């Protein structure tokens, strides 16, 4: 197999494995739009990363964390509904990112690669980053799993029972930023949320516990990555959208069968 294909598979599967559990939380906490907003701001992170000459992945993570903090502050004394607020921030940051990138005339930037992903040009260094970042994310999720699940079900109850609610929330934001920085390589800014929520929603159909669903989402995501890369390789379609379409296909497949009584 060609090196670039092997790298693409390794990188894509790595991201999918991490996206499974995180995506499950995004679904449970109804944060799909929040994920969109964070990922749309990633391009702005890239632009400022170039301007300030820092590592682009670090810039994206910083940008996401900053935006998440702004959101939390705005939500507290809000005049607008949350979805309106998210919509404004998502598209303003994306637009600003596009404008700033266009002004950087001494830098050549493959805009399409950032918007739609460029899995086939993934390097060994990228893979290293994905796996180190991925292990970090999974470790955080392992330690935060219990409090995060508890606050997802009822935050006040979790707080009264003495769980570290604030730490869990902050940790979740950070994890989200990390995963977005990683997933950007695979599916691009515009499609990150799809990679998070579609495998999780698919796994819901065939699982009975939160842990099964998280693991199932990882496996389904990994299969979608493999299918997508195959599709892209044989028919020369763009990789990111192919991966997302494969995930949608698996979703439709899972929901086209009658619901099994063993899964409630």
| Residue in 158, 180, 190, 217 binding other proteins, rule: CB under 8 A | 158
Q: Are 163 and 146 in contact (CB under 8 A)?
A: yes
Per-residue binding string, other proteins, 115-154, x by CB under 8 A, is -------------------------------x--xx-xxx
* Residue nearer to other proteins on the CB measure, 23 or 63: 23
Per CB under 8 A, 208 contacts other proteins = yes
Per CB under 8 A, 108 contacts other proteins = no
> Rounded distance, CA 46 to CA 109, Å?
10
Per CB under 8 A, 213 contacts other proteins = yes
Per CB under 8 A, 204 contacts other proteins = yes
Minimum Å gap between C-beta 38 and other proteins is: 20
Judged by CB under 8 A, which stretch of 121-129, 182-190, 207-215, 235-243 contacts other proteins? Answer: 207-215
Residue 54 phi, psi (nearest 5)? -120, 165
SS3 104: coil
Return the residue matching tokens 């994890």.
175
77 secondary structure, DSSP code: T
SS3 188: coil
| Residue in 123, 161, 167, 259 binding other proteins, rule: CB under 8 A | 161
Instruction: Give the residue ranges of DSSP H helices in the chain.
Output: 3-28, 32-40, 42-51, 56-76, 82-103, 111-116, 124-153, 155-160, 165-187, 192-204, 210-235, 239-256
| Residue in 157, 166, 253, 255 binding other proteins, rule: CB under 8 A | 157
Minimum Å gap between C-beta 27 and other proteins is: 5
> What are the tokens at 255?
């929901």
By CB under 8 A, name the binding residues for other proteins.
Answer: 27-28, 30, 146, 149-150, 152-154, 156-161, 163, 201, 204, 207-210, 212-213, 263-264
């Amino acid at each position: 197999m060609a090196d670039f294909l092997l790298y693409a598979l390794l990188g894509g599967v790595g991201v999918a494995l991490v996206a499974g559990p995180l995506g499950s939380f995004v679904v449970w906490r109804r944060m799909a739009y929040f994920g969109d907003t964070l990922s749309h701001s990633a391009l702005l992170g890239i632009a400022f990363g170039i301007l300030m000459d820092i590592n682009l992945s670090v810039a994206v993570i910083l940008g996401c964390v900053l935006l998440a903090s702004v959101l939390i502050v705005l939500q507290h004394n809000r005049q607008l509904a949350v979805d309106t607020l998210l919509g404004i921030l998502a598209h303003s940051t994306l637009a600003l990112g596009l404008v700033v990138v266009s002004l950087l005339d001494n830098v050549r930037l493959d805009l399409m690669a950032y918007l739609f992903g460029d899995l086939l040009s993934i390097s060994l260094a990228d893979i290293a980053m994905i796996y180190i970042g991925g292990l970090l994310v999974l470790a955080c999720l392992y330690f935060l799993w219990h409090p995060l699940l508890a606050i997802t079900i009822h935050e006040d109850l979790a707080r009264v029972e003495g769980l570290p609610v604030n730490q869990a929330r902050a940790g979740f934001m950070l994890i989200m930023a990390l995963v977005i920085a990683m997933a950007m390589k695979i599916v691009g800014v515009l499609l990150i949320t799809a990679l998070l929520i579609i495998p999780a929603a698919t796994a819901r159909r065939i699982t009975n516990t939160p842990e099964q669903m998280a693991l199932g989402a990882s496996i389904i995501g990994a299969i979608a990555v493999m299918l997508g890369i195959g599709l892209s390789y044989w028919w020369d379609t763009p990789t990111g959208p192919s991966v997302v379409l494969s995930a949608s296909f698996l979703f439709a497949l899972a929901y086209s069968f009658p619901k099994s009584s063993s899964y409630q």
